[in-house]
Amino acid sequence: MQVSNNVRFASRRFKPRQVFRFNSHAFTCDQSYASSSVYRTMSSSALDPQSLKVTGLVVLTLQTTALVLLMRYTRLPSPTNPANSLYVTSTAVFCAEVCKVVACFCAVFLQNGNSLRATYVELRHELFSAPMELVKLGIPAGLYTLQNNLLYVALSNLDAATYQITYQLKILTTAVFMVVMLRKRITVSQWIALFVLIIGVAFVQLSPSANAKSLPAHQNTLIGLVAVILASLSSGFAGVYFEKLMKFTSPSIWIRNIQLGFWGSILAFIGVFVTDGAVVMRDGFFRGYNLFVIIVIALQSLGGLCVAVVIKYADNILKVFATSISIIFSCLASYYLLNDFQYFATGTIAVLSATALYSLGGNTKSPASELPVTVGKD
């Protein structure tokens, strides 16, 4: 009786409250906490992990394929959209970072039972309770921002299929940085896979139609290739550094992406005016934007979240197979839709085989596969 009286007094004094009964005893809790708990319980019971796995893999495959093809399409000049009127890629990178932060904030808001106060408390704790951790994240965030800008350069100078194949060099760079920075052991079969990967990429670059004479005047294969290699190095180092940095911390996927997006937005905004300031001041921030550019930005901002869902409910091997299927789709679509095709079947098969062999050849996971990454890294 005493417990129940105390509960009723507390309920009248502190609103809103909810009363729960267990074995004839009443207990109260804050409304925000109760709704958050109920939300999480309902969400976990309503979502089948197997369904999430399949859905995540399908969405990741489609997202990766669509992003590469649309990025390539939006960077192709046309009579109605000449090269000097195309959108400024650095502004697209900035917009994608902002959209990613907004999407992750909405996810945290939903996880906290639609409570702004609870969301604010969690964000304040995670973002500012350990300021040095936030500062350290500036390094991978800066590399990821650089990487996303480089990928636009690559797709402005390479066809979608060549880009997809060559960008698998990130597997090699990640493996090397894992050995150097984390002292992780790579199995013999994985080293063989990496060797096959290099051979496959070489076949793609040496294919007959890769001759510069067959390229449009605005494209430069060498610039595109250098951009992909630099992006692969950035992806490998940033992924391993991020794993090493986050080894003893475990914030949620959404919080970690907000932290990365915080730095990414700042650095991307600086990059806009450092690299394209004159163009933006003359033609406007949103020069050349259209529906397809907006879709590219949306896909770019949500790409890392798709990877996070796949890794959470599936595993790295399935993610690699999704990437391999995306490469095949990109090759076919590049030929039929964008008139971009190179006869590189041997190289493509070698890269796909190397990707699968590396994933199946040992228990070591790529750091990028375990982390909430942004587009371009995977």
Burial of 33 (0-12, 13-18, 19+ CB in 10 A): middle
Identify whether the C-beta of residue 87 lies closer than 8 Å to the C-beta of residue 74: yes
Instruction: Give the C-alpha separation, 230 to 35, whole Å.
Output: 47
Tokens in use for 72?
A: 């390539």
Q: How many other CB atoms sit within 10 Å of the CB of residue 58?
A: 14
Q: Which residue has the tokens 């500036």?
A: 138
* pLDDT for res 162: 82
Q: What is the pLDDT of residues 134-153, one digit of tens each?
A: 888 899 999 999 999 999 99
Which sequence spans correspond to the domains of the chain? 1-46, 48-370
How far is residue 137's CA from residue 186's CA, in Å, rounded to a whole number? 27
Tokens coding 99: 């959209």
- What pLDDT score was predicted for residue 375? 38
Q: Are 339 and 159 in contact (CB under 8 A)?
A: no
Q: Which pLDDT does position 146 carry in this prediction?
A: 94
Residue where the block lists tokens 């630099």: 230
Q: What is the DSSP string of 222-237?
A: HHHHHHHHHHHHHHHH
- The whole-number pLDDT of residue 335 equals 66
Model pLDDT, residue 370: 38
- Between 89-111 and 291-313, two packed helices, what is the crossing angle to 10 degrees? 50
3 state SS of 78: strand
For residue 148, the model assigns a pLDDT of: 92
- What's the rounded Cα separation, in Å, for the pair 47 and 35? 18
pLDDT at 11: 44
Please tell me the predicted confidence (pLDDT) of residue 266: 95
Query: Residue 83: beta bridge partners?
Result: none
| Residues 80-111: tens digit of each pLDDT | 888 788 999 999 999 999 999 999 999 899 98
Backbone angles phi, psi at 28, to 5 degrees: -115, 160
Q: Looking at residue 368, what is its pLDDT?
A: 41
- pLDDT, residue 116, reads 92
**Whole-angstrom Cα distance, residue 327 to residue 64?**
9
* Dihedral angle over CA of 61, 66, 69, 71, nearest 10: -120
Going residue by residue through the chain, which has 378 residues, state the pLDDT in tens, using 9 for 90 and above.
444 444 444 444 444 444 444 344 444 444 444 444 434 444 444 456 667 677 777 888 888 889 988 998 999 888 888 878 899 999 999 999 999 999 999 989 998 999 999 999 998 888 888 788 788 889 999 999 999 999 999 999 988 878 888 888 888 888 888 888 888 888 888 888 888 888 877 777 665 544 444 556 668 889 999 999 999 999 889 888 887 776 666 677 788 888 889 999 999 999 999 999 999 999 999 999 999 999 999 998 887 677 666 666 655 556 666 777 777 777 777 666 655 555 456 666 777 777 677 766 654 444 443 333 443 345
pLDDT for position 275: 92
